[in-house]
Amino acid sequence: MDAELTPIARNCPNCGADQPKDLGLGRDPWVIGECGQCGFAYLTAAASYEDLSELYSWEKAIVAEAKRRKQKQPIVQWLDQKTRWRLHMFPRPETKTFLEKLVPGGNIVDIGCGNGKVGLALPDRYTPYGVEISKSLAAEADAEFRKRGGFCVHAPSAEGLGQFEPNLFDGAMLNSYLEHEAKPLPVLEALARVMKPSGVAIIKVPNFGSWNAAVMKSGWCGIRLPDHVNYFTPQSLANMAAKAGFASDFPGSANLPTNDNFWAFLRREAA
C-alpha cells in the first residue's frame, strides 16, 4: 500500500518551520521528525486528501496496518488478540461518555466521523452532524444522520467545517482523528468558528508522551504509517489549540502516563 501513495512534503503543522530532526521511528519513505523550532513531532510527508478519500481511506488503512503488524510482530499481535479481555477489566474512558457529561444536548459535530456509529450512539437529545474524508463512509453517515435531523459533509475537515454556519455546535467529537489530519491547526481554527461560546470539543489522540511510546519506540501502537501524521503530547496539543483560540483541560484520571491515548476538553477562550 505504501508504494501506491505519493508522499507530499509538509512543514511543521504547528509553526510552519521546515527544520525537522529525524527521530528514527519511521520507515522509508515516511519520516517522523521533531520540529527544530517548536518541538512538535510529525510525519514530514503525508498522503494527499485525494488518496485518503478513496485509495487509502480509514477503513482500508486499518486493515492494511493490522496485516503489516501481524507480519512484523506475529508473537506480540497473537498475544494482544488472545488477551483482549484485559481491556474490559476496568472502566475505560470514552469520548462519547465525556461529551454526555459535559454537553447537556444540542447540535454535535463529529469530525472524522467514519460511518457515523459514534454520533448515532448519542441519546436523542443530540443532533449529530459530521465531516468525513472517506467518500463511502461519509455517504453511510449522511444517510443515518439525516434521520436524526443532521447530515454529514464529505470533504477535508477544514473545508467541511466551512460549510456550517457560525456558532452552530454545542459540542464536538474528534475521536482518534486529529493524528490523521495533515492540517490540524486550520481544522481547529475552523472548529472554533462553528462552536458556540459555551460549547465543548472532546479530543482523543494517541499519547506520544506515554511511557509505552518511550519504551516501544518504532514498535509503539500509536505509530501507524502513513496515516498517523501527527504525534501529540498534552502540551503540544494545548499549544496548538491555543493558537486556534481554545483553552484546554485534561481529565487527570483518563490521562495517566501508562495510557497510550489521552483526552482533552477544548473551550473557546473569551475574546
Q: What is the pLDDT of residues 3-28, one digit of tens each?
A: 477 889 999 999 999 999 999 999 98
- Is residue 215 pLDDT above 80, yes or no? yes
pLDDT, position 86: 43
With CA atoms as reference, report the closest residue to 13 among 229, 235, 267.
229
- Is residue 1 pLDDT above 50, yes or no? no
pLDDT, position 253: 82
pLDDT, position 40: 98
Q: Is the peptide bond before 29 cis (omega within 30 degrees of 0)?
A: yes
Reduce the DSSP state of residue 155 to 3 states and report it: coil
Higher-confidence position of 131 and 68 = 131
pLDDT, position 81: 56
Mean pLDDT is lowest, of 60-74, 152-166, 201-215, 226-240, for 60-74
Residue-by-residue DSSP string for 200-247: EEEEEEE-TTSHHHHHHGGG-TT--TTT--EE--HHHHHHHHHHTTEE
- Is residue 73 pLDDT above 70, yes or no? no
pLDDT (tens digit per residue) in 143-156: 999 999 999 999 99
With CA atoms as reference, report the closest residue to 14 among 271, 258, 237.
237
- Residues 215, 221, 226, 229: what is their CA dihedral angle, to the nearest 10 degrees? -70
pLDDT, position 90: 47
54, HSE (Cβ side, Cα atoms, 13 Å): 1
Give the whole-angstrom CA distance, residue 26 versus residue 248: 29
Q: Range(s) for CATH 3.40.50.150 in the chain?
A: 92-268
Higher-confidence position of 120 and 270 = 120
pLDDT (tens digit per residue) in 108-125: 999 999 999 999 999 999
Q: Which grid cell sits at 13? A: 503543522
Report the chain's mean pLDDT, rounded to a whole number: 88
Higher-confidence position of 171 and 47 = 171
In this prediction, residues 131-141 reach a mean pLDDT of 94
% of the chain residues with pLDDT over 70? 83
Query: Which residues lie below 8 Å from residue 88, measured CB to CB, with a gap of 6+?
Result: none
User: Beta 126-132 vs 152-154: how paired, if at all?
Assistant: parallel
92-268 carries CATH number 3.40.50.150: yes
pTM higher than 0.85, yes or no?
yes
pLDDT, position 252: 87
With CA atoms as reference, report the closest residue to 197 among 126, 269, 248, 127.
269
The model's confidence at residue 93, banded by pLDDT at 50, 70 and 90, is confident
- Is residue 181 pLDDT above 70, yes or no? yes
| Phi/psi of residue 42, nearest 5 degrees | -160, 160
pLDDT, position 52: 67
